Structure 1
Amino acid sequence: MSPLALSVLLALVSAVAYAVGAVLQEGVAAAGRTGSQYLPVRQPAWWAAAGLNGVGALLHVGALAWGPLSLVQPLGALTIVFALPIAAVFVRRRAGAMAWRGALMATVGLAGLLSLTETAHAQALAGGEQLVVAGSAAGAMAVLFAGARGAGRRVLRSVLLAGAAGVSFGIASVFIKSLAVGWSSGGPAGHWQTVPTVAAFAATGLLLSQAAYRGAGLTAPLATVTVTNPVVASAVGLTLFDESFRYGTTGVLLACGSALVAGTGLALLTAGHARQDAGEESTAGLLPGVPAQASGVPAQVPGMPPQEPGVPGQVSGLPGQVDRAAGPVRCPPGSDQTVTPPALK
């Protein structure tokens, strides 16, 4: 097998591992059992998801070792495409047409954006650059996390948390790349301090992504993480690794169009889940099996005779008669008269 074919195979298997892990994470969040929303350590499925995410990360690093970044990163964007049918087949969570359109648009836009990025000569981050990258990422994640804490809707909260997770995963990828370049060029000496940074960002991304799945379904959080992760890594590459877009000005315009397509896909996913949330809120509090009634008309309870609006105290089985317990009946407004119902015979 050629190195390029091996790289493609590893990238595809990595995307499948990420997809299955995401489905398991969403299942743990949807179960609503007791435990932390960030670290549900008592759930075996969560540990399986964490293991699959680790396997996916190792396979992704292997794919980058055998193939170019411009090929491997777009293939990683297929995670969301794999996750939807996996969730539909194995856990019976079917995505609607809007979710499919949004997921495909986000994937196509991301693939186009990454395919236009031209990788420069590999280089490692210097000590000062590492501090700048880590500090900037931590600040962006803090802003997104604070926005999620104050968000009113579940979908917005989920997207903000997923965005913070994507930033964390993307920065972890940047440090992994820097670490690999440092080891290959000058050996491990002087680069061991990067390992805790990689571990911290990877673990933080896993915890934030787990919280993002709570009450918001699978597609919107996963698509947000899938898009944000490589975009952040590419942004660092463009600013610090001297990477650029292919085809000059034309490539920049195409990259902007691809980013617009990816953003539209995320907006469709968010709008679809917001519509679902609104439907759930409108039906909250209704009796099971009792259809919604028109305004001013009391709901009819199954097994009870119909009751006409405005006629209190009707006795079951005695239609048309007024219960003496109903008391005096007041005449229309402006009248001082009251009518006392006669005693029942």
Structure 2
Amino acid sequence: MSALALSVLLSFVSAVAYAGGAIVQERVAVSSPGEQYAPLRRPAWWAAVALNGLGGLLHVVALAYGPLSIVQPLGALTIVFALPMAALFVGRKAGATAWRGAIMATVGLAGLLSLVGASSAQSLDTGQRVAAALATAGAVTALMIAARAVHRHPAVRSMLLAVASGVAFGMSSVFTKTVAVDWTDGVSAGDVPSLAVIGVLATAGLLLSQASYRGAGLAAPLATLTVVNPVVAAAVGITMFGETFRYGTTGTALALSCGVVAAGGLILLTTERLAREQQEAAVAAGAPAEPVGPAEPVGDPVEKLLAQLEVPEDVRMPVPVPAPAAAGAEADPVYPLVSYAPFYGGPYVPVPTADRHRMRVKS
């Protein structure tokens, strides 16, 4: 097997591992609503951590055997694998809108990453690393505060936390690349702070991704995280590592178009989740799923008929009530009929059994 084929295979397995970890995280979030960040007592959560760690390890190995322009876009297949896996293993089916949004986000991301050109290995100096760490901490904190402010809207809250998770994971990749470049000249004690930042950002990304799945399903948070993570890393690579888009102005225009497609996919996923939340809220409140006509009156059939004819209350005549029969005597049945007085001059009266087929009008 060639090195390129091995890198592609490892990228596919990495995407499957990431998708499995995301599915397990989402199920843990559903079954542990009171522990949104780190349900440490749940073995399933640790299984999700292991799957995510395996996905990250395989991704790094794939980068060692294949070019970044191929391996990185293949990582976007995580959301494509996650939807059918969720339907197969946990019975969570995604709607047509979610599928369209996921595919748009994946295609846009893959196209964007494939247009990022490679550059010579560069590192960041101490000042740049401090600035990047502080900017990342500020952005993640702001997103967490915003998510807390909109806690009444789970879909919006989930998207904000997923963006924060993607930022943390993306910047973790940036610091990982920086340390990797430094290690080409040998390991030094000066890399310890960068390693600590990598650990903090990776842990924060994992916890924020766990929180983003609570009450928001699988597709929208996972697609957001899958898109934001490499986009942040690519943006830092372009601005701080001297990377550029391929094919000059044409490549830049294509990259912007791919970004618009990916953003449209995320919007579709968000609106799909918001619509589902509104439907679930309506069902929980007891509202009918579809508009229905006015309820039919219940009770006395005569009153029901009059209500349907919209006869005013003030012209309705009371229904006569027969007197109780004497002991041992057979009571004649009566037929309480009521007429509309202005048209017929008076109400109908009860008719004895012998004359049940005849009626007389009280003058």
Please indicate the TM-score interval, normalised by the length of the shorter structure: 0.7 to 0.9
Q: Deviations over 1:67-107 (max 9, x none)?
A: 22111110000000010110010011111111111111100
TM-score, normalised with respect to structure 1:
0.85
Matched, 1:231 2:231: yes
Percent identity, aligned pairs only, is 54
- Contact 2:11 2:62 (8 Å CA) reproduced: yes
Larger radius of gyration: 2
Aligned to 1:200: 200
Change (3 A) 1:34 1:96: closer
> 1:35 touches 1:42 (CA, 8 Å); kept in 2?
no
Residues of 1 paired with 2:170 and 2:283: CA distance? 39
String of CA shifts for 1:290-342, please: whole Å, max 9, x gaps. 887747x45xxxxxxx743xxxxx5xxx7659xxxxxxxx966xxxx9x9998
Q: Shift of the alpha carbon at 1:201?
A: 0.3
- Deviation readout 1:136-193 (Å, 9 max, x if unpaired): 1111112211221112421111111100000000011111111111112233442122
1:95 is matched with which residue? 94
User: What aligned pairs does 1:1-345 form with structure 2 within 5 A after superposition?
Assistant: 1-31=1-31, 33=32, 35-151=34-150, 152-286=152-286, 294=292, 297=294, 307-308=297-298, 314=299, 345=323
3-state SS in 1 of match to 2:110: helix
Letter in 2 for 1:266: L
Q: What RMSD, in angstroms, separates the aligned Cα atoms of the two structures? A: 2.4
Q: Which piece of structure 1 moves more, 177-186 or 193-202?
A: 177-186
Q: How big is each residue's C-alpha offset from its partner over 1:181-218, in whole Å with a ceiling of 9 and x where there is no partner?
A: 11122334421221111110001001111111011110
- Name structure 1 gaps, 5 residues minimum: 299-305, 309-313, 322-329
The TM-score, its normalising length taken from structure 2, stands at 0.81
Amino acid at match of 1:209: S
Q: Please tell me whether the aligned partners of residues 286 and 292 of structure 1 are also in contact (alpha carbons under 8 angstroms).
A: no
After TM superposition, give the deviation of residue 2 of structure 1 in Å.
2.3
Residue in 2 aligned with 1:301? Answer: none
Structure 1 residues 199-258: Cα deviation after superposition (integer angstroms, max 9, x where no partner): 100010011111110111100000000000000000110011100000111111000000
Matching residue of 1:325: none
- Residues 45-65 of structure 1 deviation map (CA, whole Å, 9 limit, x = unaligned): 111001111111111111122
* Contact in 1 for aligned 2:33/2:214 (Cα 8 Å): no
Indicate the SS of the match to 2:36.
coil
Query: What secondary structure does 2:223 align onto?
Result: helix
The answer (yes or no) to whether the contact 2:282–2:289 under 8 Å persists in 1 is no
Q: Aligned residues, how many?
A: 315
Q: Give the letter for the 2:206 counterpart.
A: L
Give the whole-Å Cα distance in 1 for the aligned partners of 2:114 and 2:302: 78
Q: Distance in 2 between matches of 1:272 and 1:293?
A: 21
